[in-house]
């Protein structure tokens, strides 16, 4: 961490800053420049509160040097994390496809879709039982009944199940039915929830908030990792920008950037990332070409009647075509599907 002193800071102010930092147990390094004096703080700066130090007399600003995340970083763990469950390896050579409806709407709907995505090559079934919706007047999910239907689909198809958990007290219940616990974008900074899944014995899929930076995503990952749960995947699902033709702007840069910064597997959700089914195929191909370890894709047998996300859901036939295209792209970049 670097403390930049104000233009014209006095010798006394500089001495005081040094003394206070050393009292906190850090060594310091003074460098007097032409326009500014700066003081380097040597050691693990993460526990220091830069908002305090910036208020010390004569201080202009504080510049962190280290990434604030640690367990999630490549510095800490250089080799890739591979999340293994039931023979599926997420973060390995094969690109993993998770597909299914936004919400579980009925037994028939889910079983039909599950069969279809299985036939096309998906290995994990997605589907929401508890749905966070912008409007209190929208369908809020089937709850427990939805979880039971998911379990039935798993039994029938052999697909694993990923589903969202929305409050800490639900973690045990959802964990009974799900293979992977999903933290939705709106809950990326719901720390009570992050701590709860950090203590669970289930893999977690953590979605990036729609207006969260990569650093904040990694800090939320740090909450989960620091509770001891290392079976964690990150998911880029589009961020909010000024563009209005698409629901979100999928941040394709995030894929290689995350692969560089962290050892955790990176999943991409092109359905939320675009909000338009017509764009999902092209953006899915792009995600695999960019190095994604997996995709999370919304598929619905009747999007024109879907209770949520109809506009961005692929029909099963289109999804099957997409899988064929993805296989070719995966091979072109040295992966399999």
Nearer to its own copies, 42 or 158 (CB): 42
Interface with its own copies in residues 127-156 (CB under 8 A): 132-138, 140
Question: Which one of the spans 85-93, 110-118, 199-207, 323-331 is the region binding its own copies (CB under 8 A)?
Answer: 323-331
> According to the binding rule CB under 8 A, does residue 7 interact with its own copies?
yes
Q: Which of 286, 291, 285 is nearest to 334 (CA)?
A: 291
Q: Which residue from 162, 174, 233, 306 is in contact with its own copies, where contact means CB under 8 A? A: 306
Interface with its own copies in residues 51-70 (CB under 8 A): 51-56, 63, 65-66, 68
> According to the binding rule CB under 8 A, does residue 213 interact with its own copies?
yes
Q: Which of 212, 186, 217, 221 is nearest to 83 (CA)?
A: 221
> According to the binding rule CB under 8 A, does residue 320 interact with its own copies?
no
Residue 188 Cα distances to 51, 182, 307, angstroms: 23, 10, 24
Return the bridge partners of 61, or none: 4
Nearer to its own copies, 124 or 261 (CB): 261
227-230: long-range pairs with CB below 8 Å, 24+: 227/194, 227/195, 227/198, 227/199, 228/198, 228/199, 229/197, 229/198, 229/199, 229/200, 229/201, 229/202, 229/204, 230/81
> Tokens 């936004």 correspond to what residue?
102
CB 128 within 8 A of CB 100: no
Nearer to its own copies, 36 or 202 (CB): 36
Q: Which residue from 11, 23, 25, 34 is in contact with its own copies, where contact means CB under 8 A? A: 34
Interface with its own copies in residues 13-32 (CB under 8 A): 29, 31-32
Question: Which one of the spans 92-100, 143-151, 154-162, 306-314 is the region binding its own copies (CB under 8 A)?
Answer: 306-314
């Amino acid at each position: 961490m670097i403390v930049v002193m104000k233009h014209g800071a006095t010798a006394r102010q500089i001495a005081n800053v040094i003394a206070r930092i050393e009292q906190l147990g850090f060594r310091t390094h003074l460098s007097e420049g032409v326009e500014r004096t700066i003081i380097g703080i040597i050691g693990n700066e993460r526990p220091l509160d830069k908002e305090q130090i910036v208020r010390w007399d004569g201080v202009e600003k504080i510049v962190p040097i280290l990434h604030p995340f640690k367990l999630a970083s490549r510095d800490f763990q250089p080799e890739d994390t591979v999340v293994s469950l039931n023979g599926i390896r997420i973060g390995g050579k094969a690109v993993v496809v998770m597909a299914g409806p936004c919400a579980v709407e009925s037994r028939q709907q889910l079983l039909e879709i599950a069969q279809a995505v299985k036939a096309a090559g998906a290995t994990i079934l997605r589907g929401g039982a508890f749905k966070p919706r912008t409007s209190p007047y929208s369908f809020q999910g089937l709850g427990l009944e939805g979880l039971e239907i998911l379990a039935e689909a798993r039994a029938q198809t052999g697909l694993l199940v990923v589903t969202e958990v929305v409050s800490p007290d639900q973690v045990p219940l959802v964990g009974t039915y799900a293979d992977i616990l999903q933290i939705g974008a709106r809950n990326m900074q719901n720390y009570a929830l992050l701590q709860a899944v950090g203590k669970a014995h289930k893999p977690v899929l953590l979605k990036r908030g729609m207006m969260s930076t990569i650093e904040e995503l990694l800090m939320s990952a740090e909450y989960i990792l620091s509770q001891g749960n290392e079976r964690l995947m990150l998911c880029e699902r589009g961020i909010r920008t000024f563009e209005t033709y698409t629901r979100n702007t999928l941040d394709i840069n995030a894929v290689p950037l995350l692969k560089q910064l962290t050892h955790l597997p990176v999943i991409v959700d092109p359905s939320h990332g675009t909000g338009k089914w017509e764009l999902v195929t092209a953006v899915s191909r792009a995600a695999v070409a960019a190095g994604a370890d997996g995709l999370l894709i919304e598929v619905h047998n009747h999007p024109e009647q879907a209770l949520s996300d109809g506009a961005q859901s692929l029909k099963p036939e289109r999804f099957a075509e997409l899988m064929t295209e993805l296989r070719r792209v995966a091979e072109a970049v040295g992966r399999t599907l």
